[in-house]
Amino acid sequence: MNIKEELMITANDLENITILYAEDDFQIQEGTVQTLNLFGIKVISANNGLEGLELFNNSKQNIDMILTVIKMPKLDGLSMIREIRKTDKFIPVVITTAHQETDFLKTSIDLNVSAYVLKPIDIYQLRDSLIKAIEPKILKDRLIEKHQLMLTQSRFATMGEMINMIAHQWRQPLAAIGTASFNLKYKLQTHKFDLNTKEGQKEQASFFEKKLDEIEYYVQNLTATVDDFRNFFKSDKKIVKKTINEPIENSLKIMQKSLDSNNITVITQLQSTNIINIYENEIMHVILNILNNAQDNFLENSKESMMININTKDLQDTTQIDIFDNGGGINDTIIDKIFKPYFSTKKEKNGTGIGLYMSKTIIEQNHQGKLNVYNEKDGVTFTITLPTI
Ligand SMILES: Nc1ncnc2c1ncn2[C@@H]1O[C@H](COP(=O)(O)OP(=O)(O)OP(=O)(O)O)[C@@H](O)[C@H]1O
Ligand SMILES: [Mg+2]
């Protein structure tokens, strides 16, 4: 779906929605239900306001919209809506009315009525009013759906990158364990120790102990990396109070080896001492996105001394994080677009283009902060500011 289609609500969107329809005139009711069915709409009919209210309370979850006349026995249409509004402020309401009933207009505005249709009901006017009424709800649902999809995509993209980082982190300890065990086996097979002498037995024991200690050390190292990654993927959405330095250090723990192996130097000056409210994993997600982008850029445009600077500091009411890389910066023609969803210049790597979009959402919506970018001599700085408690 392109953006134009996404914002367009058509008669197709009426298909399969359910309307609660209150009308006391049996003949009109029958005719209108037929029309509504023609549009693919499911109808729950009520013969007066009281019945309408009961039906609504019994199956709220399934009802998408309300269509009602005003004058009805037992409970009139507007009173029915007033009752419904006590538990549901947003369900779209459309009123069908005769010309002479105009005194209801003010009340209907107060009750947040979306549209009205003149009687006798014209099928096209009815359709257009229903579309108009359902529009905000459908757009909101689409937005939520789209956001969920992007969140999943972004998580998968990050996971792919993580697997790369794990590979880097594990290469060295695994190699070391391999060497140690090879050494042990070799010494045994070639009878390197003279076990007939006390001296030889001692030598063997101490050699074995040393190598086994090494293996144990590296195994602990591997376990620790698994824990780092597992912590990152825990999706517990819990606010914690800590300095911003911690998630930065944890992100670096995860990425350091990958950066090292690409000859990228990271220099940190973590001077902030403010305690702030953060969703730790989300902040790590942002830091990793920015570091990954810098690394991707260096891989494409390799240069002599590749460097990333990470600084944190306390300002008046905010905590600021600056992440600079000297990879040449971002072209002025695209710098305004990099936070847009699906904008990516990485064709070969198949960039999703949601890394920075998601990062901005995390900082600005979930943390009430700001994420900005500006080019500098030689490179680019991403600046995050977060409110201090
Ligand atoms: N440090 C940087 N240096 C140069 N260009 C950058 C830098 N950071 C971001 N960009 C530009 O911003 C674009 C959007 O970045 P974003 O993280 O949103 O998506 P992506 O990195 O292309 O895709 P993905 O995150 O899925 O790998 C990148 O394609 C790149 O052109
Ligand atoms: Mg990215």
DSSP 80-93: HHHHHHTT-S---E
pLDDT tens per residue, range 283-319:
998 999 999 999 999 999 888 899 999 999 999 999 9
Ligand 2 center from residue 113 Cα (angstroms):
44
Return residue ranges of the chain for CATH 3.40.50.2300: 3-142
SS3 of residue 318 by DSSP: strand
Ligand 1 center from residue 344 Cα (angstroms):
6
Ligand 2 center from residue 16 Cα (angstroms):
39
Return residue ranges of the chain for CATH 3.30.565.10: 237-389
Ligand 2 center from residue 289 Cα (angstroms):
5
Q: Whose CA is nearest to atom 1 of ligand 1?
A: 294
Q: What does the pLDDT read at residue 67?
A: 96
pLDDT tens, per residue, the chain with 389 residues: 666 666 777 778 888 899 999 999 999 999 999 999 998 999 999 999 999 999 999 988 889 999 999 989 999 999 999 999 999 988 999 999 876 666 777 778 788 888 888 888 888 889 999 999 998 888 888 888 888 888 888 877 777 777 877 887 888 899 999 999 999 999 989 988 888 999 999 999 999 999 999 999 999 988 887 887 777 777 667 899 999 999 999 999 888 888 998 999 999 999 999 999 999 888 998 999 999 999 999 999 888 899 999 999 999 999 999 999 999 999 999 999 999 988 999 887 778 888 899 899 899 988 999 999 999 999 999 999 999 98
Q: Whose CA is nearest to atom 4 of ligand 1?
A: 330
Burial class of residue 203 (count of CB atoms within 10 Å of its CB; 0-12, 13-18, 19+) = middle
Q: Provide the CATH number for the domain formed by 3-142 in this structure.
A: 3.40.50.2300
Q: Which two tokens stand for residue 73?
A: 């026995």
Q: Whose CA is nearest to atom 25 of ligand 1?
A: 355
Ligand 2 center from residue 287 Cα (angstroms):
11
d(CA 345, CA 240): 35
Q: What does the pLDDT read at residue 99?
A: 60
237-389: CATH topology is Heat Shock Protein 90 (3.30.565)
Average pLDDT, the chain: 89
Using CB distances shorter than 6 Å, the residues near ligand 1 are 157, 289, 293-294, 297, 325, 327, 330, 338, 343-346, 351-357, 380
- Find the helix or strand (DSSP H, E) in which 260 lies: helix 245-261
Counting ligand 1 atoms within 8 A of each CB, the residue from 293, 303, 325 with the most, and so the one to mutate, is 293
